[in-house]
């Protein structure tokens, strides 16, 4: 069997759509890809990544829970990855890895391009403070949101993220137990791993302002609980992260191959297979 040129690393990873997405992009561009999913826990990531590079690896995507590890393993990083402190795209350059972060661009492209949303001045709640949350925070601030409130179940991680952003007048942290007292938000982004872990988030309906946008960075079954909560709370839009997944993959593809694929047909096919909520 030919060694893979590209891969996505994560744990768990069996649910990943990245191999299908990149195969579709490769077909569009006339590029033959050997892209696989590699399940690896954090403690084994360094060894697995080194083995992948030695065998022929040219590029890799990185997902939960390895994005901050990927940042540390990168000899050079893009400006956005440096700001986020997290890497989701690795490119082999000579004998080292260059790290990029396409999550932020993917999120904004989905929200403003596919869904035509204006993010400016929105009071925003970010749930979570891991690698995906870090990229989302910087991208949303760059896109012009107003106040950003970060809440994480481990509050020290939220504080660390806010400190790294360095905008104390726009970015604040609160405790998870204080959610009911925070008022309402125009944009709520769920960047926690709760859905992937099949955990339930107990969130008060009062967080959702009229016509608010609620967005889960997870997709498919992992986002069902949050999307159902948002709809029950009266959100104007309740979306999962499928569009972000496809858009960030297209950004990675462009880094590796020099051409950005057409994302709409790939997104639409997957959306047909993955409705926002399960139906009877």
Which element (helix H / strand E) includes 6?
strand 6-10
Angle at 119 between CA 107 and CA 159, to 5 degrees: 70
State whether the Cα torsion 137-138-142-147 is positive or negative: positive
Which residue in the block uniquely carries the two structure tokens 């889960």?
A: 216
Position 197 pLDDT exceeds 80: no
| Sheet strands (E) in 42-184 | 59-62, 76-77, 89-93, 96-100, 124-127, 148-151, 171-174
Ranges for all domains in the chain classified under CATH 3.40.50.10860: 6-101+245-273
pLDDT above 70 as % of the chain: 98
| Segment 20-36, tens digit of pLDDT | 999 999 999 999 999 99
The question of whether 237 is a catalytic residue gets the answer no
pTM, 2 dp: 0.94
Q: 201 falls in which pLDDT band (50, 70, 90)?
A: confident
Position 108 pLDDT exceeds 50: yes
Ranges for all domains in the chain classified under CATH 3.40.50.720: 104-240
Q: 164 falls in which pLDDT band (50, 70, 90)?
A: very high
Position 161 pLDDT exceeds 60: yes
Secondary-structure class of domain 6-101+245-273 per CATH: alpha beta
CATH code of the region 104-240:
3.40.50.720
Higher pLDDT, 2 or 164: 164
Q: Where are the alpha helices (DSSP H) in 35-90?
A: 42-55, 67-73, 79-84
Nearest partner of 28 among 276, 277, 266, judged by Cα: 266
Q: Pick the catalytic residue from 27, 67, 169, 237.
A: 67
Pairing label, strands 59-62, 6-10: parallel
Position 249 pLDDT exceeds 80: yes
Residues 6 or more apart from 166 whose CB is under 8 A from it? Answer: none
Do residues 190 and 224 make contact, with C-beta atoms less than 8 angstroms apart? no
Residue 279 has a pLDDT of 38
């Amino acid at each position: 069997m030919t060694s893979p040129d590209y891969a996505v690393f994560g744990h768990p990873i069996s649910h990943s759509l990245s191999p299908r997405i990149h195969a579709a992009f490769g077909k569009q561009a006339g590029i033959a890809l050997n892209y696989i999913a590699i399940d690896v826990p954090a403690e084994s990531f360094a060894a697995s990544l080194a083995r992948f590079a030695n065998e022929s690896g040219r590029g890799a995507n990185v997902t939960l829970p390895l994005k901050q590890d990927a940042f540390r393993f990168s000899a050079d990083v893009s400006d956005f990855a440096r700001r986020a402190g997290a890497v989701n795209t690795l490119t082999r350059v000579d004998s080292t890895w260059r790290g990029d972060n396409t999550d932020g661009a993917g999120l904004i492209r989905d929200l403003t391009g596919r869904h035509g949303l204006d993010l400016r001045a929105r009071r925003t709640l970010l749930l979570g403070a891991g690698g995906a949350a870090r990229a989302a925070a910087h991208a949303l601030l760059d896109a012009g949101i107003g106040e950003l409130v970060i809440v994480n179940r481990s509050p020290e991680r939220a504080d660390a993220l806010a400190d790294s952003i360095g905008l104390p007048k726009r970015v604040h942290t609160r405790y998870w137990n204080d959610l009911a007292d925070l008022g309402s938000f125009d944009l709520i982004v769920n960047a926690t791993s709760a859905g992937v872990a099949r955990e339930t988030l107990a969130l008060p309906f009062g967080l959702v302002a009229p016509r608010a946008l609620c967005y889960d960075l997870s997709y498919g079954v992992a986002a069902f609980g949050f999307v159902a909560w948002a709809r029950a709370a009266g959100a104007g839009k309740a979306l999962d992260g499928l569009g972000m997944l496809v858009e960030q993959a297209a950004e990675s593809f462009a880094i590796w191959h020099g051409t950005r694929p057409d994302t709409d047909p790939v997104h639409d096919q997957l959306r047909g297979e993955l409705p926002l909520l399960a139906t009877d």
